[in-house]
Amino acid sequence: MEFDKEVDATGLNCPLPILRCKKGLSEINAEQVLKVISTDPGSVKDFNAFCVQTGHQLLQLDVDEKTFVFYIKKRTI
């Protein structure tokens, strides 16, 4: 999947992956896609809840071994 910015949150535990995601989203424009890489198993639940609460769209989740890759489309303002 194509993306506009990547955030690497590997090795970080809650809430740091979400905080890095928020910072990454603040650095891109509406409708652009942020790729977030995480190794925290709780991040799947956290990112789903985060997207529902904030209006951003979780486009895709890829799981490879213990790595989770999220593609999040920034909401329109």
Q: Which of 14, 58, 59, 69 is catalytic?
A: 14
- Distance from C-alpha of 16 to C-alpha of 63, rounded to nearest angstrom: 19
Query: In what side-by-side order are the strands of the sheet with 5-9?
Result: 5-9, 33-38, 67-73, 57-64
14 is catalytic: yes
What's the DSSP call for residue 40?
A: -
Query: What are the residue numbers of the active site?
Result: 14
